[in-house]
Amino acid sequence: MFDKLKPGERRFRAVNDTTPKETNNMRTYFFMAILIFKGLYSAAQGTPYPGQPATGPGGAEYEHRSVAFYDSAARADGFWLFEPSDPRPDSAEVVVFLHGYGAYNPVAYGKWIKHLVAKGNIVIYPRYQKNLLTPRPDVFPANAAKGIRDALALLQTGHHVRPRTDKVAYIGHSYGGVIAANLGVHWEKLRIPQPSAMLLCEPGSGPLKGARLGNYAGLPADLNLIVIVGEDDYVVGHEFGQLVFETAVNTPNRNLVLQRRDTDGHRWVLATHSEPYCYDLDFDTGVRNYTTRRVFQTSRLNEVDFNCYWKLGDALIGYTRQGLYGDVAFGNTSQQRFLGKWADGKAIRPLEVFLPRAGTGAASAVGVSRK
């Protein structure tokens, strides 16, 4: 099976060591798309990155040393797939990672994907766009859902790691946050797993309106939801993130997090739209467009990754699946707000957290301001 394949363009096909049911599933999948095994890559570094905690949410405590990378993204409704390996588990939890507009090259978030996989997750990365101009944005959720369904079907075949889909986490950056929120409302109609956890990172659509909803009261009542916005996000701003937070009135366990810039006089921690980018050339598919060029120009790996996006994502997932790290994911606690320390030991400006008003579905944050 695929653990015997070498990196390169290989067509997916049924082999002799499958059951009849698996063979039928695989033949069905063959007509949907071509699957390419891209390679087996190191998923975890030997020591933490500078500024990364050794353990805990966002930390470098990993279960798997490698990631198997598959490409079935030739079509706009295709996907990339990342499976934990070394050791390869029989089954694993699933994270759906929805990229920003034009980031249909998973290089953009490569280190975060490796982090998630090394923690034991299968990562499904739907393409949803053919290029920067097509299809129309209102088609994005249907394309993403098709990619999710096909990826899950593939994972049920051959020697792939079997997906556990009762507590799927959805992560979305930029337009991917808009799509994730849309999927969260329409998951049943789109025939995808109900989201149990959702992390929206700098979500928004700029001047485009496709896939946006008027309100998000239709999100599941038992969804654990965190929305993160950046002080200096001049690409999509705060408007959409606030809209989700303020109108998801039937989803009580939700927090809105504001990350602000800071400096110790020697270096800056920024709070732009690009903060979730953390490229890794292992996952470079060769696409070069405006978004990819922006990724290479602005991507940085620092405390904002480890102690904001990665930390809150890990804590959200841990709380949802195991009841762990609730004080890190939610509640405006010191653990949730902590963004790290400068070289002199002083604290980096903490995150700001907004909560729904006690006893109501309404939100307490109206008009997140830049200071």
Q: What is the pLDDT of residue 33?
A: 60
Identify the band that residue 28 occupies on the pLDDT scale cut at 50, 70 and 90.
very low
Q: Tell me the residue range of the domain where 60 lies.
A: 15-354
Q: What is the DSSP letter of 22?
A: H
Q: Does the pLDDT of residue 109 top 70, yes or no?
A: yes
Whether residue 238 is contained in a domain is answered as: yes
Instruction: Extract the tokens encoding 193.
Output: 């797993």
Whether residue 366 is contained in a domain is answered as: no
Tell me the pLDDT tens digit for each residue of 281-323. 999 999 999 999 999 999 999 999 999 999 999 999 999 999 9
Whether residue 120 is contained in a domain is answered as: yes
Whether residue 5 is contained in a domain is answered as: no
Tell me the pLDDT tens digit for each residue of 31-40. 446 899 999 9
Cα gap 197→187, rounded to integer Å? 13
Q: Where are the alpha helices (DSSP H) in 39-139?
A: 110-118
Q: Please state the pTM of the whole predicted model.
A: 0.90
Q: What is the pLDDT of residue 362?
A: 57
Q: What is the pLDDT of residue 23?
A: 44
Q: Does the pLDDT of residue 226 top 60, yes or no?
A: yes
Domain count, the chain: 1
Whether residue 9 is contained in a domain is answered as: no
Choose between 47 and 275: higher pLDDT: 275
Whether residue 6 is contained in a domain is answered as: no
Lowest-confidence region among 26-30, 52-56, 86-90, 338-342: 26-30
Whether residue 257 is contained in a domain is answered as: yes
Cβ pair 354, 336 in contact under 8 A: no
Taking alpha carbons only, the member of 141, 75, 145, 64 closest to residue 104 is: 75
- The average pLDDT across 52-69 equals 97
Q: What is the pLDDT of residue 45?
A: 79
Whether residue 362 is contained in a domain is answered as: no
Cβ pair 228, 201 in contact under 8 A: yes
Residue 21's domain is classified under what CATH number? 3.40.50.1820
Omega before 195 cis (within 30°)?
A: no
Count, residues in the chain: 371
